[in-house]
Amino acid sequence: MATRVAVVTGAASGMGRLAAERLTKAGWAVAAVDLPGPQLDSAAAETGAHAFRCDVRDDDQVAAAARGVVAAFGGIDRLVNAAGIAVAGHVEDLPQDAFERSISVNYLGTVRWVKAVLPAMRSRGAGELILFASLAGWMPTPAMGAYTATKFAVVGFAETLAMELDGSGIRVRCVCPGAVQTPMLDDIMSRGMPERLKRLSQVAAPGEIIDAIEVSLVRRNAGIYVFPGLPVKVLWRARRLSPQLLGRVIRRLSAVNSDG
C-alpha cells in the first residue's frame, strides 16, 4: 500500500503540530507547513514531518509549497488546514489591519490551500480536506468580531465546497471546536477574554479534537461538521434553536471579567 501524504498547515505549534505528530506516527508522509523559523524546524524534527516554509497569506508561496509536496511525495491525500491567528478586541478599538490579517490568514489562507491541493486530489479521484473553523463560526461573542467573522466565512466556504465536490471522491470536514488548550487560547485569555466565557464550552485538550476528526472520517454518513464534545454540540443546537436566548447568556458572561 502506498504511503499516504498529508499537508498540515500551522504545524509549528498547537493543533497543527499535534496533527502532524499523529499522522507521522500512523505512517503518513507529512508536509509540515508554517512560517520559516526555529519553531517549524523543531516541530518537523520532533514529529518526523518534512518542513515546508510558507506564509499562508501569500498566493505564490502557497502554490509553490503545494507543488513542492507533490514533487517530493507524488500527490496529496489530506489537507489539515490548522493555520490561524487570534485577534481579540472590540470592533471600534481594532485597527483595520487587524481585520485584514485575520481574514488573510484564517479565511483566505484556507481558500488558498484548498485551491492549491485540489488538482492533486482531483487527479487521484480522492482526498480529504480538513478545515478548521470554530464554534465561533456559529456563535459570535463580544470582543471577538475580527476572529468570529473569519470562522463564519470558513463554515460557509466548507459547506459550499462539500456541495461542489459531491461525487468527486474528495471529502470535506469542517471542524468546529470550542475552547482548546493551545497557545492561541492563552493569547486570547491574555487579551481579557472573561474566564466564565471560556468555560461555556469547557476547555478541550487538542488530542480530543484530533480524535473527533478521525472518528468522523471513518463513520458512515457523518456529514461535514465535526463538533468535538457534548458541550459544543449542545451550544451549537442552542444557537440554532434559540439564538436570542443564547445571545443573552453570552452577553451576560462577557460582562463578567473575573471568576466571582
Secondary structure letter of residue 177 according to DSSP: -
List strands edge to edge, sheet with 29-34. 50-53, 29-34, 5-9, 78-81, 127-132, 170-175, 225-226
What are the Cα distances from residue 54, in Å, to 37, 184, 207?
A: 10, 19, 25
- Highest CATH level, class, for 5-255: alpha beta
What are the Cα distances from residue 36, in Å, to 21, 56, 100?
A: 19, 11, 21
Q: Is 147 a catalytic residue?
A: yes
3-state secondary structure of 56: coil
Is the pTM value of this prediction over 0.85?
A: yes
Catalytic residue among 132, 138, 147, 236: 147
* pLDDT values of the chain reduced to their tens digit, one per residue, 260 residues: 579 999 999 999 999 999 999 999 999 999 999 999 999 999 999 999 999 999 999 999 999 999 999 999 999 999 999 999 988 888 999 999 999 999 999 999 999 999 999 999 999 999 999 999 998 888 888 888 999 999 999 999 999 999 999 999 999 999 998 876 565 555 555 555 555 555 555 677 888 999 999 999 999 888 999 998 777 777 767 677 776 766 777 676 666 443 33
The cell numbers describing 67, all together, are 507543488
> How distant is the alpha carbon of residue 102 from its chain centre?
13
Q: Directed axis angle between helix 243-254 and helix 230-241, to 10°?
A: 120
